[in-house]
Amino acid sequence: MNELINIIPNPDPLPVAPGWFQFLSYLTYFLHLLAVGIMFGTAVSMALGYFKGKKDDSWMPFAGRMSRILPFTIAFAVNLGVAPLLFLQALYGNFFYTASLLVGIPWLLIVVVLIIGYYSAYWLVFKNKDHAKPKPWLSVIISLILAWVGFMLVNVNTLMMTPHRWKSYYDHMNGLHLNVSETTLFPRYIFYLFLFLAIGGMFISLFYKIKDKFEESEKGFHFGSALSGYFAFLSVPAFALFLLVLPREINGVFLGGNGLWTVSALIFILGLFVTAFLAFKRKTTAALHVLVVDLIVFVFVRAHIRQLYLDPFKEKFSTLAQNTQYGVMVLFFIVLAAGLGVVAWILIKVAKEKEA
Amino acid sequence: MNYPVWYIPAVGGPLVIALMAIVHVLVSHFAVGGGLWLVLTERKAYKEKKEFILDYVKKHTKFFMLLTMVFGAITGVGIWFTIALIHPDATSSLIHSFVFGWAIEWVFFVIEIVTAFLYFYTFKKISEKTHMLIGWIYFIAAWASLFIINAILSYMMTPGKWLQTHNFWDSVLNPTFWPSSLFRTFLCFALAGSYGLLTAAKKFKGDEKKNLVKYNGKWILYSLMGMIPSLVWYYFSLPQSAKDGIGSGAVIMRNSLIHLIAGLVVFCLLWLFFVLWKSEKLSFAGSIVVLLSIFVFFGAFEFIREAGRKPYVIGQHMYVTGLTVSQQEELKDKPILQYAKWVQTKEITPENELKAGEELFRIQCVSCHSLGIKNNVNAILAQRDLKQITRNIGSLRGITPFMPGFVGTGAEKNALAKWLYSITHEGMPEPEPEPAPAAAAPDGETLFANNCSDCHEITGSDALVVKMKTVESIDEIMEMLGKLEQLNEDMPPFEGTDEEKKALADYLNRLRSEK
């Protein structure tokens, strides 16, 4: 253990108490989770829509609508990913940077492939305006790119929690390393993909529930509900598998070792079942409420899993700096409130004008 | 030393940072200038009641939206990832110092995204007043992002009072914050005006073209009126060490200064020719040259800023190696391999000496140097023998103001030298034969060439020659040769025999007597 502690880089001090960063990272990660789910669900639905559109033209308006929504969803998924990553780096930067160094090349490739995927999404909107021709393969490529970004994030996240794997650095100093030997990697990744598709499907069904006058509204609503239902249901065994492959001292906490966390994990699983049931019953609003609460529970469960992984290395956690920055944090909250206020105000103003 | 090093010696970290930074810095400045350009050009269209100007703005809106959303946003994240790979210590330090600065910047990023979408998708669909209001909000948010990032960038160059207080506001309001903010703001407008010039030249003819060329010309004129004085102010706000680095005469710095001045001169001349005199003659090719000249100017500025900051990654606080100034001082002659967390060779033996050398290269050199494309050491070292390489490593600060001194013991220095020699020459040198007992008397000039000429030359302005003109006797020179490392921490001690020291002193004394 001492040898492991020795190789963990020394942390920098925190400008405010760690609890604030935990709160901010949970809050923004929850928003990011929703945004990524919507983005990935939209991309996959677009691809499926185009494939179906090859045989049945009635799917083309649906695929076209998804392709028009996709660039917005990428913009917000990226944007909402910045904040949790920032707060994560404040808390666990020394673990995170080391992990990203080990996978340096594929990690940086995210930037290149995401630009390609993002531009391709815009290309579908601006160059394929009438959606006369299905673009299934380009849609698949965009979806794969987005899935790749998720895969890399799971790589870094699992690596940062397992310093005993860092010695592989000496075999891959160029950063051409993937954490594929980590048992939890694929169960965790597959669980996330399923959860994202459940969130994305929920978004699509909600979208068409509100926008029910489009020619494809009914089709889209049913598609979204089914996608959400199936993948919320599939997320249950995926999550169970993910829990089971965790190290015994960690999964034990969620499997009876600790009452609160066992109940939390059960609530999450139950929530997924209820979401799936309500989605299959086309009760979108109720399903949405359950899913949102369920995701909040999941954010805490996920954070606790990381906490349990990192607890043995507590002495390498950041401590509070001598020069604190509570005033700057208050300024951030003021700017955040004002910024969200401005956004809401301008959105309402535009909506009113368009209505008029 | 705290983190593992991302080690791709054939490429080197600086090249990766440069590629990512060039794209992001250009795009982000474009996005800010473009924000104001869009809203003011839209106002012009309404004021002059000219539909073609409105259409012209709409096309630019799409361009700026794609540029900001895709390239701006993703390469922004890319820069973050890249610096964390190349300079993890500095990134960690910056994140912990500026976490709420970045968080505030993120809020402006949210506003930027929402308003960029709204501005594009509501064009001609809502009232002129509301549409322009959205444009103003977009511009203010984009500029606020620049304002905050500029605080961090200028802090890295000139941390100012923060070095003593470690106070957030002292780091933000650092000595170059205001001039740098002003300079970058006007630069953003110059870029937007130059791009407007390019599209005006490409899309229009006759009076329409003349109207838009004159209009974009005014953008450039006002930008230059703010940009040049703020650049001068920026220069005078720099600490003396950075000014010394810029004026050091180093080839890379000289070339960058030439690019900076040439870019600006060409930009101004083309502006005078096309905008003031022959606006109807501005061709698409001509407008590309205008745009390229401002790119060259901007690129050179950024390069000089980056290089001027060296050997620090955070001015006077942290070196490019990741060691803070106090750590560097503390570890100067200590065994660095034992201190570094991410090396396998802790003790040097004859068997592992070369491996230790490579590890030392990895932890102390690759944050700036490569063995391949950019800033490679091969070409220079291939012309030097082992003794010279060893001496160079011991006096890095003396060779160039851009490098931190070597940290480590004599054995570590020798290991690094041997490894560098082995990769830049074919194998290791034959051991030197024992000198013949009746060797010729040592020659002062040769001793100077072997021991001093890497850093000194016999010209009037050289520090050594200047010093020689102030000493009173050969005894004083002998005394100085005996304590070189005390006179200047970057000078290695003279390791020759007494006889050689005397011969070198005689040679230097001749310089003295020439005063």
- Subunit contact B66:A119, Cβ cutoff 8 A: yes
Structure tokens at B507: 């040679």
pLDDT tens-digit readout, B195-230? 999 999 888 888 898 899 989 999 999 999 999 999
The letter for the amino acid at B440 is: A
User: What residue in A sits closest to B9 (Cα-Cα)?
Assistant: A174
**Nearest residue, CB atoms, A108 vs list B73, B82, B117:** B82
Asked if A189 contacts A195 with a C-beta cutoff of 8 angstroms, the reply is: no
- Subunit contact A118:B74, Cβ cutoff 8 A: yes
Asked if B317 contacts A12 with a C-beta cutoff of 8 angstroms, the reply is: no
Is a pLDDT exceeding 60 seen at residue B438?
no
- Subunit contact B130:A349, Cβ cutoff 8 A: yes
User: What residue in B sits closest to A110 (Cα-Cα)?
Assistant: B78
**Nearest residue, CB atoms, A353 vs list B4, B106, B126:** B126
User: What's the predicted TM-score (pTM) here?
Assistant: 0.90
pLDDT band at B307 (very low <50, low <70, confident <90, very high): confident
Grouping H, G, I as helix, E, B as strand and the rest as coil, residue B25 is helix
Asked if B509 contacts B447 with a C-beta cutoff of 8 angstroms, the reply is: no
Rounded Cα distance, B265 and B267, in Å: 5
Residues 6+ apart with CB under 8 A from B3: A9, A94, A97, A98, A101, B88, B89, B322, B341, B342
State the residue for tokens 């954490």. A179
- Subunit contact B137:A108, Cβ cutoff 8 A: no
- Subunit contact A174:B7, Cβ cutoff 8 A: yes
- Subunit contact A122:B66, Cβ cutoff 8 A: yes
Asked if A231 contacts A48 with a C-beta cutoff of 8 angstroms, the reply is: no
Q: How far is A223 from chain B (nearest CA, A)?
A: 27
Grouping H, G, I as helix, E, B as strand and the rest as coil, residue B457 is coil
- Subunit contact B7:A107, Cβ cutoff 8 A: no
**CB neighbour burial string for A33-58, b if at least 16 within 10 angstroms, e if fewer:** bbbbbbbbbbbbbbbbbbbbbeeeee
Helix A18-55, helix A136-160: angle, nearest 10: 160
**Nearest residue, CB atoms, A90 vs list B99, B111, B122:** B99
Q: How far is B324 from chain A (nearest CA, A)?
A: 12
- pLDDT score of B437: 58
Q: How far is A167 from chain B (nearest CA, A)?
A: 9
Residues 6+ apart with CB under 8 A from B393: B406, B413, B416, B417, B420
| Distance in Å from the first CA to the final CA of chain A | 68
- Subunit contact B85:A108, Cβ cutoff 8 A: yes
Give the torsion through C-alpha atoms of B502, B508, B514, B515, to 10 deg. -120
Interface test with B, best of A173, A320, A355 (most B CBs within 10 A): A173
Rounded Cα distance, B294 and B200, in Å: 17
Asked if B130 contacts A353 with a C-beta cutoff of 8 angstroms, the reply is: yes
Interface test with A, best of B16, B62, B110 (most A CBs within 10 A): B110
Is a pLDDT exceeding 80 seen at residue B451?
no
Asked if A211 contacts A241 with a C-beta cutoff of 8 angstroms, the reply is: no
Q: How far is A123 from chain B (nearest CA, A)?
A: 11
Higher pLDDT, B334 or B500: B334
- pLDDT score of B500: 82
The letter for the amino acid at A23 is: F
State the residue for tokens 């100012």. B160
Give the torsion through C-alpha atoms of B16, B21, B26, B32, to 10 deg. 150
- pLDDT score of B251: 79
- Subunit contact A346:B118, Cβ cutoff 8 A: yes
Interface test with B, best of A346, A347, A355 (most B CBs within 10 A): A346
Is a pLDDT exceeding 80 seen at residue B428?
no
- pLDDT score of B381: 84
- Residue numbers in B near A6 (CB within 8 A): 341
- Subunit contact B85:A100, Cβ cutoff 8 A: yes
- Residue numbers in A near B117 (CB within 8 A): 72, 75
Q: How far is B31 from chain A (nearest CA, A)?
A: 16
pLDDT band at B440 (very low <50, low <70, confident <90, very high): low
pLDDT band at B450 (very low <50, low <70, confident <90, very high): confident
pLDDT tens-digit readout, B176-198? 999 999 999 999 999 999 999 99
Residues 6+ apart with CB under 8 A from B265: none
- Residue numbers in A near B84 (CB within 8 A): 97, 100
Give phi and psi for B161, each to the nearest 5: -65, -20
Is a pLDDT exceeding 70 seen at residue B165?
yes
8-state DSSP, B319: E
**Residue of B100, B75, B90 whose CA lies nearest to B25:** B75
Write the DSSP string, A30-81: HHHHHHHHHHHHHHHHHHHHHHHHHH-GGGHHHHHHHHHHHHHHHHHHHHHH
Count of residues for chain B? Answer: 515
> ∠ at Cα A307 (A239, A75), nearest 5°?
65
- Subunit contact B5:A173, Cβ cutoff 8 A: yes
Residues 6+ apart with CB under 8 A from B165: A323
| Distance in Å from the first CA to the final CA of chain B | 47
Residue B384: C-alpha distances to residues B252, B421, B490 (Å): 21, 8, 19
- Subunit contact B103:A72, Cβ cutoff 8 A: no
Rounded Cα distance, B84 and B313, in Å: 12
pLDDT tens-digit readout, A109-138? 999 999 999 999 999 988 876 666 778 899
- Subunit contact B20:A111, Cβ cutoff 8 A: yes
Write the DSSP string, A149-176: HHHHHHHHHHHHT-GGGGGGGGG-TTS-
**Residue of A77, A84, A89 whose CA lies nearest to A26:** A84
- pLDDT score of B271: 81
What is the mean predicted confidence (pLDDT) over A10-23? 96
**No. of H helices and E strands in chain A?**
11, 0
Is a pLDDT exceeding 90 seen at residue B79?
yes
Residue A101: C-alpha distances to residues A94, A149, A185, B84, B85 (Å): 11, 16, 18, 8, 6
Structure tokens at B173: 């309001």
- pLDDT score of B334: 92
Rounded Cα distance, B498 and B502, in Å: 6
Structure tokens at B314: 């955070």
Rounded Cα distance, A335 and B476, in Å: 65
What is the mean predicted confidence (pLDDT) over A282-309? 97
Interface test with A, best of B5, B15, B100 (most A CBs within 10 A): B100
> ∠ at Cα A280 (A275, A282), nearest 5°?
95
% residues pLDDT > 70 (chain A): 99
| Bridge partners (DSSP) listed for residue A14 | A320
- Residue numbers in B near A327 (CB within 8 A): 168
- Residue numbers in B near A9 (CB within 8 A): 2-3, 88-89, 92, 341
Using the Cα atoms of residue B493, residue B497, residue B502 and residue B507 in order, give the sign of their dihedral: negative
User: What residue in A sits closest to B130 (Cα-Cα)?
Assistant: A350
Q: How far is A31 from chain B (nearest CA, A)?
A: 13
**Residue of B381, B221, B386, B115 whose CA lies nearest to A347:** B115
Interface test with A, best of B11, B64, B65, B74 (most A CBs within 10 A): B74
**Residue of B19, B306, B31, B72 whose CA lies nearest to B191:** B31
pLDDT, mean over chain A: 95
ipTM of the complex, rounded to two decimals: 0.95
A-B contacts at Cβ under 8 angstroms: 187
8-state DSSP, A324: -
Using the Cα atoms of residue A205, residue A210, residue A216 and residue A219 in order, give the sign of their dihedral: positive
Grouping H, G, I as helix, E, B as strand and the rest as coil, residue B318 is strand
User: What residue in B sits closest to A120 (Cα-Cα)?
Assistant: B70
Q: How far is A61 from chain B (nearest CA, A)?
A: 20
Grouping H, G, I as helix, E, B as strand and the rest as coil, residue A223 is helix
